[in-house]
């Protein structure tokens, strides 16, 4: 899955904040609430979209499932 460019509910642009969110939450271990507040993601609909986006950590990198599914061998 690819992070939506805009929130499904309110239409706010959220994709630009997602890379920073991934780095700070999954690599640096910061609190998701604090990170979302600092990235100015205030509405619960936008927060839901970012928090519920599936990612996994592989070899010290945060990856999205589209990265893994797109590989061809």
Kindly report the pTM of this predicted structure. Answer: 0.74
Q: What is the pLDDT of residues 2-51, one digit of tens each?
A: 788 999 999 999 999 998 998 899 888 899 999 999 999 999 999 999 98
How many Å apart are CA 36 and CA 68, to the nearest integer?
A: 26
47-70 average pLDDT score: 75
Tokens 């998701």, residue located: 32
Q: Is residue 70's pLDDT more than 60?
A: no
Instruction: Specify the pLDDT at position 35.
Output: 95
Give all domains of the chain, ordered by start, each with its CATH number.
Answer: 15-69 (1.10.10)
CB within 8 A of 11, min separation 6: which ones?
A: none
DSSP the chain: ----SB-TTT--B-HHHHHHHHIIIIIS---HHHHHHHTT--SHHHHHHHHTS-EEEETTEEEEHHHHHT---
């Amino acid at each position: 899955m690819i992070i939506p460019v805009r929130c499904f509910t309110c239409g706010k642009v959220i994709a630009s904040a997602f890379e920073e969110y991934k780095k700070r939450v999954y690599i640096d271990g910061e609190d998701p609430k604090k990170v979302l507040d600092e990235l100015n993601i205030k509405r619960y609909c936008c927060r839901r979209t970012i928090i519920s986006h599936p990612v996994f950590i592989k070899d010290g990198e945060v990856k999205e499932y589209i990265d893994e599914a797109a590989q061809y061998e």
